């Protein structure tokens, strides 16, 4: 467990992953503390004046026209947290909540929110103690930030609501804070609003999806290469000069990965043997084009994520010249769009992987492999139903590819009349990434079995390394029918952990 230093200039994707998944500790830098204190002085000065300032001495949203006197402002900040903590449905995963809180703390530390240093420190203390607020699936429209999810987190800081302790047990938040020596915060002007008004949930899920997809796109290049090999296809279509004349960088990277995996194969190039074919099917021949387009989509999504990581998203914001200005930077459209783009690309990658698997199982298209890769076809069904499972996953991914960001439902008495639905886009992308992992795992399972059934031909060294590693991981090879679900689960765990890429790279070098 490492330590992440949080200053005034944002953070990195690696730091988000470290906090969300690896329980890294958070330390606030001296610059962050100084910036927090300076911004708070501005808010305190405005709060002392008679003129109404949104978020400081007014109501919120459609109720912003009401001026709130000093005697009610602490109650106002408590009330916005309590009323906005209105989520419903299943609990959101621990890693998502930790990313959500850390990214809100990142913006707080920018010095643009007006939150006191002690509130920021309490946020860090809660994360460092392993306390995770209970956040629910539904409640964010992705505009004015991820309001309900962030409100449930702020409620924990106040010692209210429920949270999960480091032991995994859900208890009243006040009890957990007390057990770890953390004093609940007493919110002052602007602080309740500042804790709720950000794109942090959707951004956190985007960052984690990008990390998972980086592994999956490399894994899919490996499984595509293994399928090409098992089908006795040609690797000539992967030549770098062919991809140089259509200069999409992702396409070139995928082709190079496949070519590296296939180096030294004794199976490729047999497409002109007993049943000559001029070209391989699109699902094999166009694998770099499809995976490459997804890689380029990821590159754009990373650019958006990097910009958001450097941003301070709040409304209103405290500016260095002393102004506190309203703005619309909390709108989630930039993040929502790329979340939807990634779901579309992931669905297409899953779709082409399923088509390759189906080709391996069909005796009329597999160029000599047994039907369904069965040991004794007819007595054994082989991998017939594994492909059904894969097809069901692909079908769901196509539904998940329908954009959430194209939808909008007005809220707050038409004050918030166009929203991003970015949280919904992020939630469905997480499901899509899970499904894609399973789809790639099933292609891996089928392709390794198919390669092993090509007796008398020597697979590439990288392929042999994959087969050896996957068998050691508990994924069994060819043979009579057996209970298949455990094998598929082991293949899924193998891909999910990055073990497929790790098995290949000692042979191929680092994949792109």
Q: Among 54, 217, 388, 445, which one carries the catalytic annotation?
A: 54
Residue 417 DSSP SS3:
coil
Handedness of CA 35, 307, 60, 51 (dihedral sign): positive
> 204, 197, 277, 198: which is closest to 237 by C-alpha?
277
Using alpha carbons, list the distances in angstroms from residue 28 to 40, 124, 133, 355.
16, 8, 21, 50
54 is catalytic: yes
Reduced to 3 states (helix: H, G, I; strand: E, B; else coil), residue 4 is strand
| Distances from the Cα of 108 to the Cα of 111, 125, 506, angstroms | 6, 14, 43
Give the DSSP letter of residue 88: E
DSSP secondary structure string for all residues of 276-336: --SS--HHHHTHHHHHHHHHHHHHHHHHHHHHHHT----SSEE-TTS-EE---TT--HHHH
Enclosing H/E stretch for 26:
strand 25-28
* Integer angstrom CA distances of residue 199 from 92, 142, 426: 16, 7, 11
Q: Say how far apart CA 211 and CA 12 lie, in whole Å.
A: 12
CB contact set of 458 (below 8 Å; sequence gap of 6+): 265, 266, 267
DSSP state for residue 416 in the 8-state scheme: B
In whole angstroms, give the CA distance from residue 502 to residue 497.
9
Catalytic residues: 54
């Amino acid at each position: 467990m490492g330590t992440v230093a949080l200053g005034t200039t944002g953070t990195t994707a690696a730091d988000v992953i470290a906090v969300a998944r690896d329980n890294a500790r958070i330390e606030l830098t001296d610059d962050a503390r100084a910036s927090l204190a300076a911004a708070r002085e501005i808010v305190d000065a405005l709060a002392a004046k008679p003129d109404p300032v949104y978020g400081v001495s007014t109501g919120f949203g459609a109720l912003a026209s009401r001026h709130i006197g000093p005697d009610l402002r602490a109650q106002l900040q408590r009330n916005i947290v309590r009323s906005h903590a209105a989520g419903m449905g299943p609990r959101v995963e621990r890693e998502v909540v930790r990313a959500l809180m850390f990214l809100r703390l990142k913006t707080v530390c920018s010095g643009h929110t007006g939150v006191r240093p002690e509130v920021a420190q309490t946020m860090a203390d809660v994360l460092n103690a392993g306390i995770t607020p209970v956040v629910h699936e539904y409640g964010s429209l992705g505009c004015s930030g991820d309001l309900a999810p962030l409100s449930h987190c702020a409620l924990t800081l106040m010692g209210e609501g429920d949270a999960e302790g480091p032991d995994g047990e859900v208890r009243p938040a006040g009890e957990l804070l007390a057990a770890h020596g953390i004093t609940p915060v007493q919110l002052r002007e602007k602080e309740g609003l500042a804790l709720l008004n950000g794109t942090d949930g959707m951004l956190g899920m985007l960052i984690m999806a990008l990390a998972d997809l980086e592994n999956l796109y490399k894994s899919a290049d490996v499984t595509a290469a293994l399928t090409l090999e098992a089908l006795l296809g040609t690797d000539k279509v992967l030549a770098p000069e062919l991809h140089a004349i259509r200069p999409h960088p992702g396409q070139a990277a995928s082709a190079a990965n496949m070519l590296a995996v296939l180096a030294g194969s004794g199976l490729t190039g047999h497409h002109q043997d007993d049943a000559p074919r001029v070209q391989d099917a699109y699902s094999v021949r166009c694998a770099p084009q499809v995976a490459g387009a997804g890689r380029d989509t990821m590159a754009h999504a990373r650019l958006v994520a990097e910009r958001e990581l450097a941003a301070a998203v709040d409304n209103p914001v405290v500016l260095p010249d002393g102004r506190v200005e309203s703005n619309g930077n909390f709108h989630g459209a930039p993040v929502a769009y790329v979340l939807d783009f990634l779901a579309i690309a992931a669905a297409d990658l899953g779709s082409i992987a399923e088509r390759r698997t189906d080709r391996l199982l069909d005796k009329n298209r597999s160029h000599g492999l047994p039907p369904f890769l069965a040991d004794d076809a007819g007595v054994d069904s082989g991998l017939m139903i594994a492909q059904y499972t894969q097809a069901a996953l692909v079908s769901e991914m196509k539904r998940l590819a329908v954009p959430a960001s194209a939808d909008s439902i007005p809220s707050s008495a038409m004050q918030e009349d166009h929203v991003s639905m970015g949280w919904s886009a992020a939630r469905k992308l997480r499901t899509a990434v899970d499904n894609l992992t399973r789809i790639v795992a099933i292609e891996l399972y089928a392709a390794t079995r198919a390669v092993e059934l090509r007796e008398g031909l020597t697979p590439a060294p990288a392929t042999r390394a994959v087969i050896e590693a996957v068998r050691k991981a508990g994924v069994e090879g060819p043979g009579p029918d057996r209970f298949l679900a455990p094998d598929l689960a082991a293949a899924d765990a193998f891909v999910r952990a990055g073990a497929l890429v790790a098995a290949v790279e000692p042979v191929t070098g680092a994949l792109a």
